[in-house]
Amino acid sequence: MEEHPHESIDTVFNCVIPYIQNGDDRNSISLVCRRWYEIDCMTRKHVTVHVVYSRHLPSRVAQRFPYLESLTLKGFPRVFRNKLQYVDLRPWIKEIVVSFKCLNSLDIRRVIVRDLDLEKLARSRGKDLRVLKINDCKGSRGNRYIHIGRYCYNLRTLCLVDNKKNQKNRKWLHELALNNTCIESFQFSSTISEYDVKDLTLLAKSCSQSLVCLKMGKCCLSDLRGVFSHAVNLKDFACCELEIFEQEGDQCAGLKFPPNMRISIYSCIDESVLPFLLPLSNQLRELNLRVYLNQDSLCFLIRRCPNLEVLYINHISGDNVLQVIGESCKKLHKLKTDGLAATHMGLIALAQGCLELECLHINFRKYTTIPNEFLVCIGSHLKNLNDFQITLHYSTIVDSGIRAMLIGCNKLERLRINYPHSGKLTDASLGYIGMHGHNLRYLSLSYINSSDAGLVDSGIRAMMIGCSKLERLRLNDFCGDLTNVGLGYIGKYGHNLRHLSLGGYISDFKEGLVELSKGCPRLRKLEIHKLSFSKQALSTLMFNLQSLRYMWVLDQGGPVGTLFWQRRRAFRCCCNLHLAAVIGPHTSIPWFWRSGYNFVPNAKATENTGLPVFFSLICWYSDRKSMNCRPRS
């Protein structure tokens, strides 16, 4: 009996869909038909949840994705982590214990995790977990990790980056060493001197064949002699800072490292540290230098590090350091510097010497002028550059230099050009970006000027048409040349935009916001700085952009104040100038009013307060008794 064509198609997609891993593609597939929705539910392996304060979301995730293997739970964005109260993860822990039977990877960030919850998680799911990451979480009384070390005995990756002051019980490292034999990557943020070094040595001995990555806080190299002797396959070692004691040099004598180990150090470097860095120089791959060295000592250190691949350095004065980097660091892939005072000669020597550079971030000091030849040299030599960021205070760079750089660096995916004080970019520069920046995915520009009205809008149109892959666009600190027409072009041609940031002192943007809302079908995050718009334009924007999930409105001195807005698919939200009117019977808005730099939850406001800056955080509740919101207007 012949198979029906539709059954053949279903068979094909049953085999194909499980191999599609991109989250956006998965979401699109689930909307095609009921059958594909069911296939996505049964085959989805990873989910990232950005909003963790919904009561019923854990059970819904478990019901929809019963065979989930990897779960990432994120709290509030980093920009608000010190200003807003963390979210309690207890409902999620309860659901993970009961429903997530196939879970083997868990990543938790910026939430409240209590010791009792971690104990339940470790006892019930510890034997199945292969990856566990706990980053910047609160709620512990000092014993949270003891249960991880005791019950999670099949871990491959363990990352514990937390507030070390809350960890009073240091026995968890000993338990971890006794019960684990297959850890491949281990990262913790505490200082090694706070623990018994024998426990870390025991862990390295137990995982001698599997351990390939070890990252920690401040450490003393002589204390890690046993770790390096046992972890024969260790490839990546990183520490935040080297701890130097008296007679350290005698104790480090004869210290041997694994043959293939790469060392990364993020440290303040001064003259006292140099004797301990020089024996490691051939194995150094990454250095983050907050330098307190004179120019001669810094050049001497860089010459001894020919295998450097990543270099962060805060201050560079003169061309000598750049020339030494170009001569010695031929394998350099990433260079970031903040506070550069050099001429174009040193920059050209850097570009001609480090031909493998993929990432270059340069922040020039004030009163440093750079001619156009620098960008031309970058385009001629740095063919692998995909991330370029430059901050100029005073410069003679013109549009032709940007054109030459874009033509040569055809792999460029991230570009940021910042002029804090005066505008040098023109509409012609925007046209060149659109003509030659076909692979750009991130673009940040500021202070764009034009001699004639309307030319900036034309440049925006050419840029958006050419940069069809653009996912993140930041147009901040504009002069008054961008109009509603240009904003409409962003909406019309920004098919792949996911994050848009707009800023500048522009008188009226209400029509532009409405035009923007007609396009950008994939926009998820929107930031608006120092723009004037009406409440009707803002509400229209929220209703039309169905994909929008996060919105920041920062307008100090304006009528709206500061709004942080999150949207769920279950409802829509409309914001007016005084309070947020929420449409839906089961919606709650906890309010946070800002007084200076302190955020006070649930503070009252009246029309006579001058409308201070506020945050609105939208939650979802099942019963009206637990609501804490304003009445609908």
Q: pLDDT-based confidence at 89, cuts 50/70/90?
A: confident
Q: pLDDT-based confidence at 104, cuts 50/70/90?
A: very high
φ and ψ of 498, to 5 deg:
-115, -20
H helix runs in 369-496, sequence order: 373-381, 399-408, 427-436, 455-466, 484-493
DSSP string, 173-210: HHHHHHH-S---EEEE-S-GGGS-HHHHHHHHHHTTTT
Q: pLDDT-based confidence at 586, cuts 50/70/90?
A: very low
In sequence order, which residues have a C-beta less than 8 Å from that of residue 26 and are 6 or more positions away?
20, 40, 44
**Residue % of the chain over a pLDDT of 90:** 26
**Residue % of the chain over a pLDDT of 70:** 72
Sequence length of the chain is 633
Dump pLDDT digits (tens) for 512-548.
788 888 888 888 888 877 666 666 777 777 778 878 8
Would you tell me how many other CB atoms lie within 10 Å of the CB of residue 376?
A: 21
Dump pLDDT digits (tens) for 164-186.
554 556 788 899 999 999 999 99
| Average pLDDT in the chain | 76
Q: What is the radius of gyration, based on Cα positions, of the chain? A: 27
Would you tell me how many other CB atoms lie within 10 Å of the CB of residue 85?
A: 15
Distance CA 571, CA 585 (A): 10
pLDDT for 154 equals 93
φ and ψ of 389, to 5 deg:
-135, 130
Distance CA 590, CA 566 (A): 12
Question: If you count DSSP H runs as helices and E runs as strands, how many of each does the chain have, helices first?
Answer: 22, 29
Distance CA 282, CA 261 (A): 10
Dump pLDDT digits (tens) for 311-361.
888 878 778 889 999 999 999 999 998 878 888 888 899 999 999 999 999
Mean pLDDT, residues 104-123: 91
Dump pLDDT digits (tens) for 469-515.
999 998 876 555 677 888 889 999 999 999 998 876 555 667 778 88
pTM across the whole model: 0.78
SS3 state of residue 249:
helix
Cβ atoms of residues 292 and 316 within 8 Å = no
Residue identified by tokens 């007084």 is: 595
